[in-house]
Structure 1
Amino acid sequence: MTVQETEHPAADVLRVLAISRSSGALEVRGVPGGAFFLHEGEVTYAETAGVPPVPETVETDPALPSMIRSTIVEAGVEMLSAPRVENDRPLFRPGRRHWTGLRHRFAVEQLLAEITDLLAHFTRLGVTPDDEVRLSWLPRGRTVVIDSQQWALTSRLTSAQSPRTLARRSGIPLTATLTSIAAMIASGVAKLVQADPNPTTPTAPPAPQTRPQAPDTGPLETDRAVSASTILTASKPIGPPPEQLPRRRPRTPDATPGLGADPAGSTTTPPPPPAPEASAPPRPVASPGELDPDSRVAIALRVLEGLKRL
């Protein structure tokens, strides 16, 4: 990844301001936002969220120029490598100055080249500011020694997140965070979360198959009530009930079929023949003008007569 490849609008605007030898502040929009301070086309300071500012208490410190330089580089890496918002151009405000003044002056082309080299270095290490990183389990029996900065990042790496987000949460500069994350990946303490190149879209489970229901044709024939007119128009008479079968009697065991002798030689008297059952009384024959009392018509008439009495 290089500054030219990212095509951040602020990089082109900085080149234009350097050629025109402009003085003021270039405000970079987006997340995170920030500003480059220039004097006659050279960068004198840079600030952005996530990069600790140079405290004013070190104004007399002889190391102040080197602190300003490292802050400019850190803020430049943060701003020029961050995702951009479409149609969100930088805004230049002429005349604005920072309290650090002219203690360090950074040429625009030199600054962009240094930012490009840093991003290329981290790409060679295998991690970029927006890669997803998570902790990894070490093999049993393996021991890894980490420094205090890696320990601070490990304690905050509770879930998969990018080095940029981790740097903002921990307050550690992005370049230092990328260096520590690369070392943790090399030692096996952390690993990159690889995106699935062929993501599969979960399909919805098939709908349960249901049997087609028969069209509703009303109540079944067996559920319909038989009307009185149907009974009255019936012409087939109901026959008499079947005669009762003769009752079975227990059979006396015989030693020899046909002989009434038991095993001891004694004889037994055969059972008397069954008494003739009384024949059922003859059913009265209805006269030509009368109805059979057991016919459907007679039953229907009696039902209607009972309903009338109610």
Structure 2
Amino acid sequence: MFLKIGELARRAGLTVRALRHYGDIGLLVPSERSSGGYRLYDRKDVARLYRIQALRRLDLSLAEIGALLVDNDAGGLAGIVERQVAQLDREIRQASALRTHLLAMQGQLQASEEPAIDDWLVALESMVAGAKYFSDDELRTLASQRDGQADAVAPERAELTALLHELIASGASPEIPQSQALAQRWIGMLLAETGGDEGLLMKLYDMHWNEPSLHSLTGVDREGMRFISHAMAFARLQLYAAHCSESEMATLRAHYVAQTDAWPPLIAEVRQQMLQGALADSAAVRALALRWQALSLAKAGGDAALHIKLQDAFRNDAALRAGSGIDAPLAGYIGRAIAQLGTATVPSP
């Protein structure tokens, strides 16, 4: 019995794109091809996919999984089981910590005391973000940054949230100075919360964008996030004035901010490929590099010379990079992918 790629993807809870990527990197090559060239998977392929997915749950990169699957002896399997046990131990500790935290909140509620917003966020992150968005180390980083700062940050967060609602309700443009100042303070607050880690900043954005339950707790929904993102783009646009002529700035003002909404999901996809160990010259990463290159050129209005000037400015001006979600490892990774396309420039927001 053979399964076509669409059927296997549906029954395995994966995307067709993911299975194609597994094939491109040699991790799961289908045993057969139909006369029409369609990929066909047999029982052995499905069993291999099961092992791949079991190892993915252990937070291993695809490169690590490929190396482990080469070793099919008992010793290799014993190592996998050992990792599974360690993973379960971590999940038990996380569940125990969450239970303790919830019991404390329960005590507050029974005493008619409203838990602080950070208490709710800790609980929500433990339930949602712990496994879905952040690794154990990343959660520890967020927790350590929060320790001792929650009381100090809460008033600023409340002030910024109120100002955000006021600006949106009044129909204010993200371009006005008040909006830009709000965005810069907001991103600064989040960077402090993540210890200056641009990767964690982008994961926070991804979590808040995709988890509606967070919106009621933070007071910031997708409309608010988009407002902040666009205001930050206008603020960053002003910084390019030190690197561009008046005519170039006119081009940027016509095209730059229009690309804003497309950057965060693309940056997140590239980072995910990097963390999974996908090679920079793999088909999936090359496709992302093409999208990155096209977006980067579009913000320059298709002007190749201006495009290169923007890359140089972003590379050399730390203020332009702050809050972009792009750190040195990611820039190097996408840079290698873009080099495969025949260009030496590294696009950026």
What TM-score, normalized by structure 1, do the two folds share? 0.23
Structure with more helix by fraction: 2
Larger Rg belongs to: 1
Structure with more strand by fraction: 1
What TM-score, normalized by structure 2, do the two folds share? 0.21
